[in-house]
């Protein structure tokens, strides 16, 4: 598989963290069940009920201490360390499991639980404790810190960097995502137009499976180490 592959882009979603014990969004135990997206993941929800929204992310941030990276995160970190060409892991996840497995060439397009964003000055700062509404920004001193999560209707982070990587990619791999949310769900199209090989690793067929050259169905903890072994030959 890796004869003519130099530049790799890997998109990950909630499915890669499922075997670590973190709930996915649209699965049977989906996070959104019990919470309507509109109530916890939109700018309007934050304005309407900041206590509920901050508490929702405080609970998910606290959960991180109870979980650990699984073999899929570890395999991607090993690929990152060994791969001589370009490699970028674009995660939709807001957990820290890729980092804890050792991944370096990584970005969080939907933000991170362990970061707080100032709605006044735009500064993001590391945050591992509970984040009550009206917490004070260490940059501007305003009581305007919010979860550093990209809500529905907001622009994901690093889109130019992601697009540039996709346009140079020889291989695009999508792991553990339902393909339900754009712009991430459209990355496979950009990669195909750039002539990249496209591979999907997922427990179930996704909304975008038809766009992939190859789809492998199964748990990420098995499929990702297998793919990395193939790539590292
Ligand atoms: N191994 C591989 N894939 C898995 C596993 C597993 N063990 N368990 C579940 N999956 C797959 C499911 O089949 C599903 O297709 O992971 C996918 C999870 O889909 P979603 O719950 O929709 O999560 P995701 O695709 O990451 O959601 C994208 O939507 O709600 C927003 O911002 C949120 O980043 C999130 C975005």
* pLDDT (0 to 100) of residue 117: 98
What angle, 0 to 180 degrees and rounded to 10, lies between the N-to-C axes of helices 71-82 and 220-232? Answer: 20
For 138-186, how does the pLDDT look when each residue is reduced to its tens digit (9 = 90+)? 999 999 999 999 999 999 999 999 999 999 999 999 999 999 999 999 9
Q: Tell me, letter by letter, the H, E, C secondary structure of 127-192.
A: CCCCCCCCCCCCCCCCCCEEEEECCCCCCCCCHHHHHHHHHHCCEEEEECCCCCCCCHHHHHHHHH
Ligand 1 pocket (Cβ < 6 Å) reads 13-15, 18-19, 24-27, 30, 92, 110, 176-178, 180-181, 202-204, 206, 219-220
pLDDT of res. 114: 98
Cα 22 to ligand 1 centre (Å)? 11
Catalytic residue among 54, 98, 108, 110: 110
Mean pLDDT of 50-63: 96
Q: What are phi and psi of 155, to 5 degrees?
A: -80, 125
Q: Which atom of ligand 1 is nearest to the CA of 150?
A: 32
Task: Indicate the pLDDT class of residue 2, thresholds 50, 70 and 90.
Answer: low
Q: In the predicted model, what is the mean pLDDT of the chain?
A: 95
Indicate the pTM of the whole model: 0.97
| pLDDT band with cut points at 50, 70 and 90 for residue 56 | very high
**Mean of the pLDDT values across residues 123-145?**
98
pLDDT value at 8 more than 80: yes
Q: If pLDDT is split at 50, 70 and 90, which confidence band does 50 have?
A: very high
Annotation says 110 is catalytic: yes
Q: Please check whether residue 92 is in contact with residue 184, taking contact to mean a CB–CB distance below 8 angstroms.
A: yes
What does the pLDDT look like over 66-125, one tens digit per residue? 999 999 999 999 999 999 999 999 999 999 999 999 999 999 999 999 999 999 999 999
State the distance from the centre of ligand 1 to the C-alpha of 98, rounded, in angstroms: 15
pLDDT band at 18 (very low <50, low <70, confident <90, very high): very high
Position 119 scores a pLDDT of 97
């Amino acid at each position: 598989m890796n004869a003519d592959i130099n530049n790799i882009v890997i998109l990950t979603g909630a499915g890669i963290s499922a075997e670590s014990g973190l709930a996915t969004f649209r699965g049977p135990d989906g996070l959104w069940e019990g919470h309507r997206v509109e109530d916890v993941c939109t700018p309007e929800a934050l304005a309407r009920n900041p206590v509920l929204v901050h508490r929702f992310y405080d609970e998910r941030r606290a959960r991180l201490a109870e979980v650990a990276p699984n073999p899929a995160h570890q395999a991607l970190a090993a690929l990152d360390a060994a791969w001589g060409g370009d490699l970028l892991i674009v995660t939709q996840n807001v957990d820290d499991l890729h980092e804890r497995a050792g991944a370096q060439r990584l970005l969080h397009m939907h933000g991170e639980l362990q970061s707080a964003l100032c709605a006044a000055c735009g500064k993001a700062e590391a945050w591992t404790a509970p984040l009550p509404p009206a917490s004070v920004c260490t940059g501007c001193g305003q009581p305007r810190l919010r979860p550093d999560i990209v809500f529905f209707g907001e622009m994901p982070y690093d889109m130019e960097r992601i697009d540039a990587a996709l346009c140079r990619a020889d291989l695009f791999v999508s792991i553990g995502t339902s393909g339900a949310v754009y712009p991430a769900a459209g990355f496979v199209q950009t990669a195909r137009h750039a002539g990249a090989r496209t591979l999907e690793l997922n427990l179930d067929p996704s909304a975008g499976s038809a766009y992939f050259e190859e789809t492998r169905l199964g748990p990420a903890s098995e499929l990702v180490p297998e793919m990395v072994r193939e790539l590292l030959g």
